[in-house]
Structure 1
């Protein structure tokens, strides 16, 4: 069975600006801490959400292709393990009330 290998690009000035990269495909996912970042979802990308350590994260693909779409959840699960919160529930919708979403 093949396993994807993921790498993480971090911003030393902002721990909420991680980018997950697949080593073997073109998949890239930007990570947002919604309590600290403004987030405007792109209509052309996939967005998923998850709570970990009392923080809500948004995960948005970067230039997603059909071939990479199936690996998005696996990459987010890898990130959840990386931040030592493997039980993160991955959500398809932003769980915040629509009035709380940053515009």
Structure 2
């Protein structure tokens, strides 16, 4: 089984923002700590959520294309493991009250 290799770009001005890059594909995932940020998700991208050390994180793709969509969960799992939380549950919706998307 092939394993993707991920790289992490950190924002020197904001320790709560990272970007996960796949070395082998075009996948990029923005990581934002929602406890400190009022970020508005992009409706054209995939958003998933998870808690690391009681902080809620948004994982949002950047210019996602169809062939990379299946690798998003793997990238998020890699990040959770990197942060020392390999058991992090990946959530499909924002769990904060009043932040669920209307269908």
- TM-score (norm: length of structure 2): 0.93
Give the Cα–Cα distance (whole angstroms) in 2 for the partners of residues 32 and 24 of structure 1.
23
Q: Does 1:72 align with 2:67?
A: no
Q: Which residue of structure 2 aligns with residue 47 of structure 1?
A: 47
Q: Which residue of structure 1 aligns with residue 57 of structure 2?
A: 57
Q: Which runs of 5+ in 2 are unaligned?
A: none
Q: Which residue of structure 2 aligns with residue 96 of structure 1?
A: 96
Give a deviation string over 1:21-76, Cα, whole Å, max 9, x none.
00000000000100111211111000000011010000000000000000000000
Q: Does 1:83 align with 2:90?
A: no
Alpha-carbon shift at residue 13 of structure 1 (Å) = 2.1
Give the Cα–Cα distance (whole angstroms) in 1 for the partners of residues 30 and 68 of structure 2.
14
Give the Cα–Cα distance (whole angstroms) in 2 for the partners of residues 94 and 39 of structure 1.
12
Aligned pair count? 99
Three-state SS of the structure 2 residue aligned to 1:68 is helix
Give the Cα–Cα distance (whole angstroms) in 2 for the partners of residues 21 and 30 of structure 1.
9
Q: Which residue of structure 1 aligns with residue 28 of structure 2?
A: 28
Q: Which runs of 5+ in 1 are unaligned?
A: none
